[in-house]
Amino acid sequence: MPAKWDVLYVGHCTRESFDKTEFHPNLFRSRRPSCTHAYAVTLDGAKRLLTLLKEQWPNPKSPYDVTMIDFIKGKKVDSFSVEPPYIIQVRDNVAPGDVAPDTKIPKQWLDRSALYELGLRPYVYELD
């Protein structure tokens, strides 16, 4: 990692074009890292994010992951992404989430899964 960073996405579910860094071949500057299921934040980054989020409270403009993209695009936080993502999400209607518990979607790997990137699974598919 570089000396200065705020957020590191070790899991994301967006196809982005990546800006290479000199730090590691799988580490890139984030542009649009949708999803917030696996990320790390430095102490300074957490303070910065809390300040930025307080400006929107109690009426946030967008869901948190979209708000994070806005912060990154606006250069308000310094963010990096690991590509391919090390951690993936799975949609599962057997055990619905707490955000949209009544959502009826089939269990499937999400876009940009590590298994897809490694050539072990198709792009999106139904799980048995």
d(CA 30, CA 11): 12
* Residues 53-111: tens digit of each pLDDT: 998 888 777 888 889 999 999 999 999 998 888 887 765 555 544 455 555 555 554 55
Domain that holds residue 35: 7-82
| Residue in this structure with the two tokens 């890292």, named with its chain if needed | 33
Q: Kindly report whether the global pTM for this prediction surpasses the value 0.85.
A: no
Return the structure tokens found at 76: 């308000």
Return the structure tokens found at 20: 């290479």
**Same domain membership, residue 69 and residue 17:** yes
The dihedral formed by the CA atoms of 106, 119, 2 and 67, expressed in degrees to the nearest 10: -20
**Same domain membership, residue 39 and residue 95:** no
Q: Which helix (H) or strand (E) holds 39?
A: strand 38-41
**Same domain membership, residue 100 and residue 74:** no
CB atoms within 10 A of CB 73: 13
